[in-house]
Amino acid sequence: MDLDTDVGTTNRPRSSSGTPPPAKKARLAEENGSGDEAAAAAAGPSSAPSTVKSGGNQGQKGKGKKKRKIRRPPPPEPGTSEDVILRDVIELLGGEEAVKVLAAAGKDWESPLEKGQVLEVVVEELSSNGEAIARVPSTVSPNPWAILVPFALPGETVRVRVYANVRLHSLADLVEVVIPNEEMRDNSLMLSYDTQLQLKQRVVEKAYKNFSGLPPSLVPSILPTIASPKTYGYRTKITPHFDLPPMAKRKESDDPKKLAIGFGEKGRRKVMDIEECVIATPVLNQALPGIRENVRGKLHTYKRGATLLLRDSFQRPESDEPAAVPIDTAPNPPQADPQVPLDAISVEPPTATTSEQDGEAHVCITDYKATVRERVGDTVFEFPAGSFFQNNSSVLSPLVEYVRSAIFDSTSTPSSLTHLVDTYCGSGLFAISLAPHFEHVAGVEISQESIASAKHNAALNNLPPPSTSSTPAIRTKSLTFLAGKSETIFSSVSDFPSQNTVIIIDPPRKGCDKLFLQQLVAFKPAKLVYVSCNVHTQARDLGMLVELMKEVGEGKETYVIESLRGFDLFPQTAHVESVAVLRLVQVEA
């Protein structure tokens, strides 16, 4: 999910009824194409190509009209947002067995609704991606069918307008909230923060039910979601963008002031002009007006639209150490942040922007090659602005502390867990933050430039301490960062004793591949902590891990999930991070 397109304060007024504005096209269409074909591509599998007659002579034979084959799209990739929506729809419609009946009768693609049809429905559930799901009334359709609509909440009666039909459900715009759920909406029409946390706990629950393949007895109760200390003004990076027609189609009469610079409007292939992003940090919002002004003053220099980068950074002292990575001389870019598009450009504000936040000066960085400084507790990190680092620094200290306390719980002692491996380590967040609690620490990452940042950050924080150090609280004897691919990741730490080793996994949204998991179970660390930005692929991976242990453990050893809990890194959005803690145990005969 592109979080940058989900947030921001709109400048468009709401309707007089107080309901949110309707969306005109599906996000699925925006990402994958347009119209029904794109929406269908996100909607799931079909058993075989189907045919329809083209033209206006349907039902007539021998008139020279050929049948046009319509190829149904393949199933969505497991764990993607499209797959998650489809699983939620299937669950609402009665589960896999009910859907099999529909599919056997060829009814899973036959919508009872016409495009443009307006009807009232009662929302029953929120999808894990934040959209409302309702069932089509039995008076309209004898077969189970669902409707997906944005901006609505469970229990609300809403009027919707259908714009596309896909497998098992229709996609619709919200026309009006007829009967609101006043218990869930606050005075601003937003969800209360407590409600957001409860819904995100439900997302984790559904993920393990639908994607892990594990019996309920092996999945512990999902703990309450950990709140973000800041619910607004927390996001340290935003990437507003703008679209421009080709040079040949531009007119001198075009008013630059009318150019929309902002984020993708929900459900539309259109940029919504954003003057302020309410979840962005103060220094970013202070810099944004000047950057927008500069862009509009230089439109003639842009061949097409582009994406802007604004990143919050602690102000680096002029006499400070060299930058984390000499990016302008590096042969390859750093570990790319997936939320920084390839068309990102640097546009400076008219004047340097600084802001006093939390007792320290912050600046807005707009050059993706520049160095950003971030602080997590007492630990300082530096990294190139175009590389990946979590975008809500306010919750990182609680996250790191939670991981530490989960490792050293009542079943583990510092004397038994002496080694730590941080896989997908990036700039070294977990390896460096937790290093004082271990004797030997290794961070492994595929990107050479990210490894360079991690090594720089270790030195920046005096880790490991010199041998003459007399600080008893720091156990670290060695801290190394190694560049390696997933297929050879554990060969680099083969000297680590597995019975004394903790492994932290913090992969990208796609999760871990089978080869990585096979190496993991062969290594058999004493404890695992899986931090995920996609709880659905996390659930899938842990289900696969348990299955692989049946072979490797020979029925004598397995991993048990000790705890599962969400972390709210992105308040006011549907996104939730998830932390799973696992321990290797002996299986009782």
Active site residues: 533, 577
Report whether 303 contacts 340 (CB < 8 A): no
Q: Which residue has the tokens 């546009």?
A: 347
Is residue 90 helix, strand or coil?
A: helix
One-letter amino acid for residue 170 of the chain: S
CA torsion 260-264-268-271 (nearest 10°) is 10
Task: Report the candidate in 277, 294, 285 with the shortest Cα–Cα distance to residue 348.
Answer: 294
Nearest to 131 by CA among 147, 117, 115, 150: 150
**CA Rg, the chain, in Å?**
26
CB burial class (10 A; 0-12, 13-18, 19+) of residue 551?
Answer: exposed
Short-list 160, 189, 187, CA closest to 176? 160
Q: Which two tokens stand for residue 333?
A: 């870019």
Q: Which amino acid is at 107?
A: K
DSSP annotation string for 347-389: ---SS--EEEETTEEEEEE--TTSEEEEEETTEEEEEETTB--
Between the two ends of the chain, the Cα-to-Cα distance in Å is 45
Pick the closest to residue 549 from 523, 531, 530 (CA basis): 523
Query: Could you give phi then psi for residue 379, rounded to 5 degrees?
Result: -100, 135
